[in-house]
């Protein structure tokens, strides 16, 4: 699977089935030209470098950000300082909910994990154009409902699957979104650190390191320079049934 295929997905998050993370049309794609012009008229371009925050947890909400290119990570920071990754979002999606119109503090942090291009839609102006266009209001509700399903799936996984099952489920998911096949071997083409994986499954970096080493010893995976290759997919898949 190429990077272009990966970008067709809505994002990466912990979910029971990767069917949830389907190709997702952009917020503008299914609107008429008049509604697209309304959104363009209130939008402001916001380029971000890798590592630059879109906002931080606790900042006041002021609107939403459409992702035009790049990749955005949303994560929650617990009082202990531990981070839990909610999702990595791809182009065609937005970040900034659940308060679309800019009220209250942000409940989590969003940061660019690579150079990204966003369009900022200020909350009061977005509310005004939503009141003027029923199709636009419905599109916003559909996008928000999709995110709610994603986060509900994450909560279900955290509550019903063991941490080992969550790791295996995540590796299978990543192989389908970012995998490049070479015979019976599938390499996840985007590097993920042990810390990245731990934050996605609600575990610790040390635990993930031990588990990956065990899977490598058993010939299920190979981990080299940040890239994971799955050598025995049936063995990995069998343990999440």
pLDDT one-digit tens code per residue, 217-234? 999 999 888 799 999 988
Q: Note whether 136 and 169 are same-domain residues.
A: no
Domain boundary (160, 176, 198) is at 160
pLDDT at res. 25: 54
pTM of the model: 0.84
Q: Note whether 185 and 152 are same-domain residues.
A: no
Name the domain count of the chain. Answer: 2
Q: Note whether 233 and 156 are same-domain residues.
A: no
The residue segments making up the domain with residue 73 are 3-160
Residues 119 and 46: their CA atoms lie apart, in Å, by 6
Q: Note whether 113 and 25 are same-domain residues.
A: yes
Q: Note whether 195 and 147 are same-domain residues.
A: no
Q: Note whether 124 and 170 are same-domain residues.
A: no
* 9-43 pLDDT, tens digit each: 677 888 776 655 555 556 677 788 888 888 889 99
Q: Note whether 168 and 153 are same-domain residues.
A: no
Q: Note whether 29 and 71 are same-domain residues.
A: yes
Residues 136 and 170: their CA atoms lie apart, in Å, by 34
Phi-psi sector, 59: left (phi>0), alpha (psi -120 to 50), beta = beta
Query: Which tokens go with 223?
Result: 């981990």
User: 49 pLDDT exceeds 90?
Assistant: yes
Q: Note whether 64 and 140 are same-domain residues.
A: yes
Q: Note whether 11 and 122 are same-domain residues.
A: yes
* 120-160 pLDDT, tens digit each: 999 999 999 999 999 999 988 888 888 888 888 888 888 88
Domain boundary (104, 134, 160) is at 160
Residues 83 and 196: their CA atoms lie apart, in Å, by 10
Domain boundary (160, 192, 224) is at 160
Q: Note whether 172 and 196 are same-domain residues.
A: yes
3-state secondary structure of 136: helix
Q: Note whether 132 and 209 are same-domain residues.
A: no
For residue 154, what is the domain's CATH number?
Answer: 2.60.120.10
């Amino acid at each position: 699977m190429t990077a272009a295929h990966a970008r067709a997905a809505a994002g990466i998050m912990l979910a029971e089935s990767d069917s949830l993370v389907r190709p997702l049309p952009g917020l503008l794609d299914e609107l008429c030209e008049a509604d697209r012009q309304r959104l363009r008229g209130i939008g402001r371009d916001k380029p971000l470098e890798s590592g630059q925050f879109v906002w931080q947890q606790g900042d006041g909400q002021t609107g939403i950000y459409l992702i035009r290119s790049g990749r955005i990570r949303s994560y929650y920071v617990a009082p202990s300082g531990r981070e839990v990754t909610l999702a990595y979002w791809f182009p065609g999606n937005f970040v900034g909910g659940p308060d679309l119109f800019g009220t209250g503090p942000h409940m989590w942090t969003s940061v660019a994990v690579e150079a990204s291009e966003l369009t900022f839609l200020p909350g009061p102006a977005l509310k005004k154009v939503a009141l003027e266009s029923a199709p636009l209001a419905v599109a916003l509700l559909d996008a928000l409902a999709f995110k709610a399903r994603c986060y509900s799936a994450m909560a279900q996984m955290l509550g019903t699957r063991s941490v080992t099952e969550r790791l295996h489920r995540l590796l299978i998911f990543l192989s389908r979104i970012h995998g490049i096949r070479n015979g019976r071997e599938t390499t996840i083409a985007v590097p993920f650190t042990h810390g990245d994986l731990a934050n996605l499954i609600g575990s610790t970096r040390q635990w993930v390191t031990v588990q990956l080493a065990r899977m490598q010893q058993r010939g299920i995976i190979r981990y080299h320079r940040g890239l994971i290759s799955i050598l025995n997919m049936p063995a990995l898949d069998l343990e999440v049934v």
